[in-house]
Amino acid sequence: MDLYKRIKKEDKVIYKAIAGEWERQADGLELIPSENYTSPAVMEAMGSILTNKYSEGYPNRRYYGGNEFIDQIETEAIERTKKIFGVPFANVQPYSGSPANLAVYVAICKPGDAVMGLNLPDGGHLTHGWKYSATALFYKSIPYHVREDGRIDMEEVRKLAHEHKPKLIWVGATAYPYLYDYKSFMEIADEVGAFVAADIAHVAGLIVAGAHPSPAAHAHIITTTTHKTLRGPRGGIIMTTARGIAKDAELAQRIDKAIIPGLQGGPHNHQTAAIAIALKEAATPAFKSYGKQIVRNAKALAESLKKNGLKLVSGGTENHLLLLDLVPVFGPGGGHFASDALEIAGMTANKNTIPKDPGSAFYPSGVRLGTPALTTRGMKEAEMKKVGEWVARAIQEAHKYRLPTETKDRPAYLEKAKKELKRNTNLKKIRQEVRIFCKKYPLPHLART
């Protein structure tokens, strides 16, 4: 690799780690559904001179001087967001998705107000009111759940909403393989006077591509990260819809104030520029084709996994991600064994809870997989068949392991299992097959040298 010459010269320790990460990404299959590869233009913006400038405030309303060009960049990012998502207002300054979500609470809730969100073990997000999150420490969190088939239990949502009268209802998740029924959530919110915030972090790119329904007509607020399926830098955006402004004419101003001075200082201007570039890329016909291919690939991967004997929560997927139920393979808490085996075999995934998990959040019984990154590299349905076979083979190599009943025995057992898996010749063979396969699908950044 001959890309980071200055770093190589000035800091060999950091250069070595960056070079190692480059090789890891290039020679392996990225199956985590929240990860993706940016374009070279986005990467250039992230490393640009814009990182040197302080810009507290908003375009034409800054506390610092010298922001004429920063104002141009942020205004462009805002206008591109409004156009691509069909909304009247956007704030592009959140540092990431979690700060964006916290800003929503600050904008419309008071400490102690009731809020609702999908339960974390059922596929929800920490910032939607999980008990260890600040969003549950400062607000009264009322989690809702999924049914036996893995779909959100809308009857329970309505019952809980009428019982607790929440100020805010979240729609969104991190491990939910279905489309979201935004319209039904809006109907329930209207019945109790709540705000609906749609967290589209995972599906933003699919929405832009027309591969997933948009919440613009059925939510008051929309939040998103800008990486994941949108394929931009790590960042966040908060939007208000026409419906939101109709409910609260000052909603946009409340959100601006929640970001600064409420939660943040100066925006990361290099990040804002990179977001603007990613949004321009997302407005192209090529991106729409990409988003639709993500979903086709996810469905093809699901079929391959099932054909190779693995069980999926919901039996398949309607979006970009899949959730493996590994209880039939390992019993409770086998996510560690599967994710370790996959990583050793050159495939990166993440252990994850499944609905009504017999394990725990620390020792989950599932693994979450996704297709955004593989699709960026140009892979299609035929390649997903092969990936599914590799996943099944790798997990089979770990099938003998069982999580100890006693919690105190688990760390040592997991460490021993991982050491044994690293010596597994079949996993090493898969790793070599994956490495050869990946050379046909180079990363989109720059050609390796």
Does residue 12 carry a pLDDT above 80?
A: yes
Tell me if residue 225 is catalytic.
yes
Q: Look at residue 133 and tell me if it is in a domain.
A: yes
Which runs of E-coded beta strand occur in 180-308? Answer: 195-199, 221-225, 236-240
Q: What is the C-alpha separation between 369 and 117, in angstroms, rounded?
A: 22
- Which residues are within 8 A (CB) of 58 and not within 5 positions of it... i.e. 6 or more apart? 74, 93, 256, 260
Tens-digit pLDDT profile for residues 264-321: 999 999 999 999 999 999 999 999 999 999 999 999 999 999 999 999 998 999 999 9
pLDDT at 345: 98
Same domain, 207 and 234: yes
Same domain, 383 and 312: yes
Which of residues 282, 310, 325 is at a domain's end? Answer: 282
**How far are the Cα atoms of 60, 99, 205, 266, 398 from residue 93, in angstroms, in the given order?**
15, 10, 19, 9, 44
- Which residues are within 8 A (CB) of 318 and not within 5 positions of it... i.e. 6 or more apart? 177, 178, 179, 295
Tell me if residue 441 is catalytic.
no
Same domain, 303 and 396: yes
Q: Which residue has the tokens 């109907």?
A: 187
Same domain, 219 and 313: no
Selecting among 27, 35, 44, 56, the annotated active-site residue is 56
Q: What is the C-alpha separation between 70 and 54, in angstroms, rounded?
A: 9
Structure tokens at 223: 């939040």
Selecting among 151, 234, 280, 292, the annotated active-site residue is 234
434: CATH:
3.90.1150.10
Tell me if residue 148 is catalytic.
no
Domain count, the chain: 2
Same domain, 55 and 179: yes
Selecting among 225, 240, 353, 375, the annotated active-site residue is 225
Q: Look at residue 84 and tell me if it is in a domain.
A: yes
Selecting among 228, 247, 368, 418, the annotated active-site residue is 228
Enclosing domain of residue 155:
45-282
Same domain, 275 and 309: no
Q: Look at residue 313 and tell me if it is in a domain.
A: yes
Mean pLDDT of 148-169: 96
Selecting among 199, 256, 340, 397, the annotated active-site residue is 199
Which of residues 245, 265, 282 is at a domain's end? Answer: 282
Does residue 449 carry a pLDDT above 50?
A: no
Tens-digit pLDDT profile for residues 385-436: 999 999 999 999 999 999 999 999 999 999 999 999 999 999 999 999 999 9
Same domain, 278 and 294: no
Same domain, 257 and 335: no
- H and E: helices and strands count for the chain: 19, 15
Same domain, 115 and 190: yes
Q: Look at residue 338 and tell me if it is in a domain.
A: yes
Residue bearing the bigger pLDDT, 436 or 4: 436
Q: Look at residue 259 and tell me if it is in a domain.
A: yes
Tens-digit pLDDT profile for residues 81-119: 999 999 999 999 999 999 999 999 999 999 999 999 999
pLDDT at 149: 87
Alpha helices in 86-201 (DSSP H): 97-108, 134-137, 154-164, 182-192
Q: How confident is the model at residue 3 (pLDDT cuts 50, 70, 90)?
A: confident
156: CATH:
3.40.640.10
Q: Look at residue 446 and tell me if it is in a domain.
A: no
Cβ(179)–Cβ(319) under 8 Å?
Answer: yes
pLDDT at 445: 67
Which of residues 282, 310, 327 is at a domain's end? Answer: 282
Tell me if residue 156 is catalytic.
no
Does residue 124 carry a pLDDT above 60?
A: yes
Same domain, 216 and 322: no
Cβ(197)–Cβ(102) under 8 Å?
Answer: no
Mean pLDDT of 216-230: 97
Same domain, 269 and 326: no
The CA angle 420-425-426, to the nearest 5 degrees, is 105
Taking the C-alpha atoms of 194, 198, 199 and 203 in order, what is their torsion angle to the nearest 10 degrees? 160
Q: Look at residue 10 and tell me if it is in a domain.
A: no
Average pLDDT, the chain: 96
Same domain, 374 and 343: yes
Selecting among 54, 95, 178, 441, the annotated active-site residue is 54
Tell me if residue 199 is catalytic.
yes
Express as a percent the part of the chain with pLDDT over 70: 98
Tell me if residue 228 is catalytic.
yes
Q: Look at residue 38 and tell me if it is in a domain.
A: no
